[in-house]
Chains A and B, each alone.
Chain A
Amino acid sequence: MSIQVSPANLEFSKPVSSAAQARAAYLTKLLHLAQSTVAETSELQALRDHAALRVQEQTFPSTRDEEWRFTDLSDLLAVELAAAERSAVTPDAIARFVLPDTARLVFVNGFYAPELSDLGTFPARLTVGNLSSASDQQLQTYLGQQSGAEEVFTALNTAGLSDAGFVFAAKNLVVDRPIHLLFVSTASQPVLIQPRCLVVAEPNSSLTVIEDHISLGESVYFTNSVAEIWLADNAQITHTRIQRDSQSAFHIGKTAVSQARSSRYTCTAVSFGARLSRHNLNIYQTGEQTETALNGLTVLKGEQVGDTHSSIALSKPYGTSRQVHKCIIDDRAHGIFNGKVFVPKAAQLTDAGQLNRTLLLSPKARVDTKPQLEIVADNVKCTHGATVGQLETDELFYLQSRGIDASSARKLLVYAFAYEILSQIPLESLRQSLTSQL
């Protein structure tokens, strides 16, 4: 493709910087890596080709992009990545991540691992498996069809899409047993890993899903994950998303949720891992009277960077959203929170609340937080708040005055801060293992 530049614009145009060139080359490389893992022929080819075009039309983000202002991906550019490979993982290796009383779907480096999965017995009208368990019609209706699919990293994932976790609850089906989607990363060299899942709840159905990104080592890799979640009328999904990637990894994750009338979606997202992580959480309320609850906890230390960009689009009357996002930041780590809420004219009598609370544990710890409310409708209730604080001397003193040493008192107070979010995790064993990581 050649670029036409009119003489009038010429004097303003600068030569493409070498940094921009490096980003473009890197994106091309990523796209090739993504495509290289794809199985030869497949009915998904058209979807992939379309997504590849979307990738090619875009640029790899830099801190000049408003959406990436505080999240600098240049360290990733320095990582020479290879394509992800299947890897043999023993049940012992993942034993400590296994959650009791759940159905488990395991993917290793993005590849389905049926030998590690344990689906148990399920009602017939529930489908849990990989994409081979989905019908063509289900794939056509839902896979890659969420708004925001053209966003560069989402499109990159789709361009290399050959398999995904798949959960489908048919109409009126209430599933109590949580479904654990365990995405395992294990890499002996830096690789691009692209986990994916598709979760669909048909009218009046109910699901509990735990999306869990873990690592078996402290290696360098780049996880670029996508979760697409669909709630039909009056459906309910309780979604727990845990990001505990390697401390040397890069993690960019998309959660795109579409909510039809009277549906209820809860997301509890807990992020501990990765040297740099970004969670893009996009909620699309498409029907009246939908309810969204977002709980977030990001725990950072060392030089970690942890970014959450959420957006909630209320579009119809009587929608509600409740968001509490907390960050605990130690050492020289850097937290970023950007919370968008859109309330267009049609979304009358809606109620949106957002709260971001940050606990800074060291003088060098940093947070950048930005609520972004775009409200056009006039008869609505929208609140937001952001607080940044440190451990209170008075609180520490109270504990110490009961004989608890300073370091235990600190831990207890950090735990108390996180508790509001951690307590939302529906599984006791998972709650405990995350608490012990604090």
Chain B
Amino acid sequence: MITETSETILSVKDLTANVDNTPILKGMNLEIKAGEIHAIMGPNGSGKSTFSKVLAGHPDYEVTGGEVTYLGQNLLELDPEERARSGVFLAFQYPLEIPGVSNLDFLRVAYNSKRKHAGLEELDAFDFDDLVEQKLEIVKMDASFLNRSVNEGFSGGEKKRNEILQMAVLEPKLAILDETDSGLDIDALRIVANGVNQLSTPDNAMLIITHYQRLLEYIVPDYVHVMANGRIIRTGGKELALELEERGYDWVLEAEAVAS
């Protein structure tokens, strides 16, 4: 349930950012409240991943203007790890491999760093095993993945599923999923979408970047934004995704050109 009084989780105002001195984000505006699911669609190269990385604090992206407020605090002044510990989670478009570090150890270190931040006691290996077991169920992942090195030798789809497992363990307040659906087969898509829906609560929010309306049949967004050339140029409800699927982006881009 979204109500007028729902807490604002993320507020982005006139955000601009550069990569290698090239402006990529050119005035992003977005407001996300607790319980909401937002989708961002848009042509390749429009800046969707850039936006997600700026929110998560990637050091290569230089914020040149604007504000990002997360739960009332200035998100931009936090280190990436502080953002993560306070509940920002980015599921990567291209998850990285970490040979030699078991998936289970990695999850535990990440989970405990968040608990420590919250002033809670770290969970020992046994209690953590129990917790992970439940989370595996959410993404229907086999326990054998826990003993393998993080993402090493995982198929594209397995890596994406592993991202959602991390999300399930970390229980973020704001989850940003960057093309988590690409590379998933039809069954995996359903499982992952189902997992994401289970993780969606009235207290948290999701920002879902995707090229395909298909995902949005499973994870129904409250808002669909179209991003082009570093800005959001149109916002609509879930029916906008359908329209984009049918008509492509040209008509939105043209309408935007006429308007400005």
A: residues with CB less than 8 A from B are 393-395, 397-406, 408-409, 412-413, 415-416, 418-420, 422-423
Contacts and interface: CB of A to CB of B under 8 A. Distances in A.
Interface in B71-123: 79-81, 83-85, 89-90, 92, 95-96, 98-101, 106, 109-110, 113-114, 117
Contacts of A402: 84, 106, 110, 113, 166, 170
B84 A419 contact: no
Contact of B117 (A399, A403, A406): A403
B58 interface: yes
A399 B166 CA distance: 12
B77 to A, nearest CB: 15
Contacts, number: 75
Give the interface SS of chain A, mostly helix, strand, loop or mixed. Answer: helix
Contacts of B53: 397
Contacts of B146: none
Contacts of B84: 400-403
B96 to A, nearest CB: 4
Contacts of A401: 56-57, 80-81, 83-84, 89-90, 92
Interface string B105-149: 010011001100100000000000000000000000000000001
Nearest to A392: B96
A167 B47 CA distance: 65
B100 A419 contact: yes
Interface of B: 53, 56-60, 79-81, 83-85, 89-90, 92, 95-96, 98-101, 106, 109-110, 113-114, 117, 149, 166, 170
B81 A404 contact: yes
A406 B79 contact: yes
A409 B59 CA distance: 14
A399 B149 CA distance: 14
A415 B58 CA distance: 22
From B60, B89, B100, B101, residue with most partner A Cβ within 10 Å: B100
B110 A398 contact: no
A398 B60 CA distance: 13
The 8 A-B residue pairs with the shortest CB-CB distance, nearest first, are A419-B100, A400-B80, A403-B84, A402-B110, A403-B113, A398-B96, A400-B81, A403-B85
From A401, A416, A422, residue with most partner B Cβ within 10 Å: A401
Given A403-B170, A415-B100, A416-B99, A397 B59 contact: yes
A422 B100 CA distance: 9
Contacts of A393: 58-60
From A405, A418, A423, residue with most partner B Cβ within 10 Å: A405
Nearest to A422: B100
Given A397-B59, A397-B80, A398-B95, A403 B110 contact: yes
B109 A404 contact: yes
A117 B101 CA distance: 35
A395 B97 CA distance: 8
Contacts of A394: 96
A346 B117 CA distance: 65
A400 B149 CA distance: 17
Given A395-B96, A405-B113, A416 B101 contact: yes
A400 B92 CA distance: 13
B81 to A, nearest CB: 5
Contact of A404 (B96, B99, B110): B110
10 contacts: A393-B58, A395-B98, A397-B56, A397-B57, A397-B80, A404-B81, A406-B79, A415-B100, A419-B99, A423-B100
Nearest to B86: A403
B100 A416 contact: yes
Contact of A416 (B59, B81, B85, B98): B98
Given A401-B83, A416-B149, 13 more contacts: A393-B60, A394-B96, A395-B96, A397-B56, A400-B84, A403-B114, A404-B109, A406-B79, A415-B101, A416-B98, A416-B99, A420-B99, A420-B100
